Chain A
Amino acid sequence: MDVFLQTIVAGVLKGGLYALIGIGMTLIMGVMGIINLAHGQLMMLAMYVTFVLSTMGVDPYIALFIAMPLLFLLGVAIQKFLLNPLIKADTILPENQVLMTVGIGMVVTEIVRFIFTSDYKSVTTTYSERTFFLGNISFSVALTIAFAIALAFTGAMFWFLLKTDLGRSIRATAQDKDAATLMGVNTGRITVITFGLGSGLVAAAGCLLAPVYYVFPDLGGPFTAKAFIITILGGLGSTVGAIFGGVTLGLAESLGATYFGMEFEDIVGLTIFILVLLFLPGGFKRLTKV
């Protein structure tokens, strides 16, 4: 019973972080209708920012306030100079944008590899290894803090999308770009801001993950994969869906790792992904209607 509870706790804590990764992606996918295959790579970049700052003695949770604006600006630049021009170009395949994000991901990974080499780095803090106990169940301190911050960000995001003018414009653009343009929303600017926000959110996830995970250039790919599994699970463009999707993936991964073996951790996610695509094409959004 303890093993089962421990697995659940670990899964939910991991799921909180996954949710934060997924929200950035679901925003971008929902508003622009493109898959950002450089999402994990942007997170990896934020982790390196955290790493560099931590070597200067800056705590990862403070690095958050530096990495997020940096990645926001990078996201804005990517959308403005690399992705938006493609919308205007007359091409046969709409997937050119997706391929562009793949190219961006490659460039980011390789630049980082160039500077830091492929070695595994770690951001060591006093609380990286610390745990506390509730009954017999152990909680990792860093992951619990990360979970709380992730929840706060998710809540803030939800409030922002529902209550502010900018948030409403973003939702309008996501629902119907042409109609939003006709209503006087500057959709070009909205896509730029959305990509920035998505990058900023995934940067936050990177900073929170840095104390408990290794940092290396190739970690982007797997996390991009996780991000869109979460997005598909939750339903496109749904913030609440991203939370459910993140926690479900976290739970499934830890249950899979505990009861089948470590090597099945990744396969569990993919299996869920395919099952959801087949049987619940709208994701959890279909069920919750939020």
Chain B
Amino acid sequence: MPQAAKRNLYPLGFLVLVAGLPLVMRDNYYLHLMILFLMWVVIGSAWNLIAGYTGQVSFGDAAFFGCGAYTAGLLSFHLGVSPWWGLALGGFTAVAVGLPFGWICFRMRGAYFALATLALNEVLRQGATIAEKFTGGMVGILIMPSFTSKLPYYYVALAMAAASISSLRWVVRSKPGYYFVSIREDQDAAESLGINTHLYKMLSLAYAAFWTGIAGALYMNYMGFIDPHVVFSLHDISIMAILVGIVGGVGTVYGPAVGAFLMVTVQEMFRSGFFGLFQWLGAVSGSESLAKVAVVLTQAHVLGFGILVVLVILVLPNGIVGDWPKIRKRVFRLDAGT
């Protein structure tokens, strides 16, 4: 009992902290970052279930993300329905796309599945670009945002992140959760024990597609604009989802949340030139070279991001949460056992 209480205490405390954050922090920019962070928690957790727990690495999260976003966008664009309906329906559209795909592609193993998800994403992106009459093509879809303030979006995103993490916790501690892990560890052994691996892989995919689709719908509502290159982007969505999972820790419940926080911060740090630090230093010291560093850094933000990918995989292949004992030992010089 104390064990279980302790297990719930930290996340709950953190949840209360995050819920209370807007009371203290009124700056729209930081609220925006927090909303992005919460959205990535949802996507990262979803990716973590299919890849980290079931071992089926998906390179096509953007496909489900885009499905959700386009569901919300198209409903509003063609039928004038509030895009908030997308939050309810976007997840199901993504599942509707994901299940037939999974039914076909789960016969393939390992890297082949990853490739097939990549292809699915490309097909959807090309499709959304070509079907100009229906989706607006390259021009994209623009909707009026429902709220001018960021607060409602913040709490919707927070509710989603909390729901996705608690559902992930519930799933991985239930029977299917253990089946998922058995498939990851040894598919043949799992099959020989009578587990219908095809079915459970599909379930895992459906879960991941559902939450990613919902996150996509939230994105549409929040940003008010989507086009095929944004929501079906390999780098910005699919790779980012994998990074969030890997940096945080694959196969851990809270890993993606840690990863999401870190990745959103790092991405923004590079994009804004360390939150304007260098620009400010340049302005204060009057030195031209520091101002130039700021410009160069903002231009090279993808480069910094790429180098980070390489370093993280090299140094922390199991992510921060997964390699936490190692980090404690190396960085804080504490013994892992104590």
Pairing of A with B: yes
Closest to A225 in B: B122
Q: Which of A96-104, A128-136, A239-247 contacts B (4 or more CB under 8 A)?
A: A96-104
CB atoms of A278 and B104 under 8 A apart? yes
In the complex, whether A53 has a CB less than 8 A from a CB of chain B is no
A34 touches which of B59, B111, B118, B242 (Cβ 8 Å) = B111
Interface residues on chain B, number (Cβ under 8 Å): 44
Bound state CA distance, A86 and B313, in angstroms? 8
Bound state CA distance, A188 and B75, in angstroms? 55
* CB interface residues, A 36-60, toward B, < 8 Å: none
- A35, A103, A221, A273, most chain B CB atoms within 10 A: A103
CB atoms of A99 and B123 under 8 A apart? no
Closest to A34 in B: B111
B57 touches which of A90, A95, A114, A225 (Cβ 8 Å) = A95
CB atoms of B306 and A110 under 8 A apart? yes
CB atoms of A114 and B299 under 8 A apart? yes
* Residues on the B chain within 8 Å of A104, using CB: 306, 310
With A93-B55, A98-B114, A278-B104 in contact, do A107 and B307 touch (Cβ < 8 Å)?
yes
* CB interface residues, A 102-125, toward B, < 8 Å: 102-107, 109-111, 114
A92 touches which of B59, B126, B251 (Cβ 8 Å) = B251
* Residues on the A chain within 8 Å of B299, using CB: 114
Interface residues on chain A, number (Cβ under 8 Å): 42
* Residues on the A chain within 8 Å of B57, using CB: 93, 95, 98
In the complex, whether B112 has a CB less than 8 A from a CB of chain A is yes
CB atoms of B313 and A100 under 8 A apart? yes
With A91-B317, A93-B55, A99-B309 in contact, do A270 and B302 touch (Cβ < 8 Å)?
no
Bound state CA distance, A104 and B311, in angstroms? 10
In the complex, whether B130 has a CB less than 8 A from a CB of chain A is yes
Closest to A107 in B: B306
In the complex, whether A267 has a CB less than 8 A from a CB of chain B is yes
With A92-B322, A93-B250, A277-B116 in contact, do A103 and B108 touch (Cβ < 8 Å)?
no
Can you give 22 contacting A-B residue pairs, CB < 8 Å?
A: A82-B310, A85-B314, A92-B250, A92-B251, A93-B52, A93-B246, A95-B111, A96-B313, A96-B317, A99-B239, A99-B246, A100-B309, A100-B313, A102-B309, A103-B307, A225-B122, A266-B126, A267-B123, A271-B123, A274-B116, A274-B123, A277-B112
